Chain A
């Protein structure tokens, strides 16, 4: 297993948000964690990214326990968080700046700009970019980290529905290209179905995994997604039942 957690727990202001959370993600697998807002999805990702220390439990990558910040994870937060005072190229190369590999990373970044729909924008400032472009720049920043697991925290949550759809199409294409183990946190059922190999449904208080949905189909597109009504329905009614129960 590439990534494993064992009995992770976290409390905030005396309330236990996450309790005894264990799951595993295989190498190259794309797993979505789906759940209602405020169920602790982002907290889980923050613990993996080393931003929040878990109260108890273990995080293992390739069987090795890790604590605090680890170079195994590349984290992409909800907002793009591009630094407005840095150009796009400087922003996406932050990892290299921090680890002394800026020069090599800049070359890779320049090659990647067109792939990320940012050709000609390397020397622009974030305010000159549209919302979707900023999000792709943030994604490039994450992809350029020398990490084996990508953690995406509702990366398209702030975008309008059409842009979000375009970004999902684009990410689906990038998925095969990058081939990296990815953990996506989302509250969008469609997004989870569209992108994932496996969906883990997180809910309850304290949160724990309630259900797992596997999606084996390799060939996917929008039409395929529209045909997944049965899956959508199943997940929707499950989440609704959970929310009614609490």
Chain B
């Protein structure tokens, strides 16, 4: 009946991206590209101090400048009850301060003007008088009794925010008391910044006739933002439309609600004009939320022959002035408790204490699923530390302690149920690909000649795809996700999803899911997202959750359509519904492959020739609540050479074997891994945000905050093993962040390995040339 020849190109095809033609022509629509009639521009006055009282703000000179329409201060917002807003973690944060600033570059006042340059001129005319207060910069000192308070607005008169723990303390302590071997290591995972190449910004447009606020903004989670906006402003939710246009990279930094979005919205309400606010890079680097900043103290108990038994971890988490992390509500330290990694341990106990300091908010992701990078760095460094202390090969120690493939589903000592894995297979594949034995031999020869070469391994387990909803919510909104599919009469499709791409290629991969499930060509499927007026409600894209949640919803919605299509097919084929099978992308009568009908014909019949007991149309929606998270994993091996004259670490080879279950688009998965590895290398070797004792942030531009260029970035070598998720509708796991999570310890382990014969046991990241050179000098092996 059907002569369909256009290929379907569903699962497993490297389909070229549907979003590329507009980007390649310079026709992307990013937020700063939006220009509305009558649009005004906003610029922001920021605090030069990390901690100070504001004694006076005089805007008269700014207001006298032609083109300036308004100046908004904390006092103005306070009158409307908007000087503070809730954070995603149950804390509150200032939109604009009324009388006190708590970090450098904090928003102090906003100018609204007819032109971008006039707004920039006007902020220099606003006079702000400050009375500096001693800044709290060291999280350890912040907990001392005589420390100044960062947040005197709170009832609790301490800088301690919360204590959180997981695992069994008594059982863990008991194992440590009996242990043959205990290794200890302090690790600092520095504060870093996602630095997507597009900064944050918005165009807020209030229609006073309709009473409707539309905000085009750089957000990874438009629906949740709409709800938060409604709760904060009191505007009815159907009168708020959040549009997330093309996003120039997110990586977690575009999850939080920044004050600028709120102030621009207030400014649009106040002036009756659309208001554009775009951060410059310096503002973005200094004031937007940060990742990491974990001070970790770890201990690993083991037997003399290297069998790992228990892990004990204490952590101080520097959250800055507001607890505005972007974690699920019940997890103030994210999923850090996945810290037992890929290894069988009898017990573990993990503690984290959150601390306020006079820094911008911490705790957003940096391409990482809720604190997993910190956990993976710790366990992977500890395995190497153990191997080094016992004189064992780190690959052997891993093989000895891996959770075995037959042990899945595996419940970890901190309570996570790993869905599937085959860790030995991944490590074996990586070792073969890189010729591990050959490298060890080469290293021995080089070491004999005084050359410094190191080999580092990381065999990480990720935890991604939040929900399930019984455990995961954000501000009470359960972490499901959604898809709505409509099949048009001629067999083309529109699918709308609750997640939001920032470069992941959802317009392509989600079309492939629909193509696979419905048997319609990928070319004929449009995927839309990011507009809260049209897309179904979802929690957004971060923490590698899109494919595990909305991807699953897409498959399930398509399968709902297929079930209806079966009835229409039976009608068309004059067969019994039960006699039909879905085979080769069409319904056919069992045993009579000649009698078949494809989805294109069924779609037309759904509007023109449907049976009397079936509704017209062919569409479905699904809100998918995953039964569990997915646990992608990988085995990474890194080879470094160290220049004894400069201390520079050069990554000579890096083999990444990833397992993310079944793959939708291999080309896109490899692209995600290449990017993730680069964002893993960045904090391992280059990136860190630091402050001086006065609270001055020291990396305010890309001149100081060093992102990897093509010169530092090696040629990444990727490969795969495939262990499907048993609970995901098409066996996929998330993948966007695996490499960022897995790469840093492979690199750090390689550098320590290169220097281990000198007695070096640990180096905190970023492992910069000067840090390495100082070590070489101290051990008398530096070349002058």
* A complexed with B: no
B interface list, Cβ under 8 A from A: none
A interface list, Cβ under 8 A from B: none
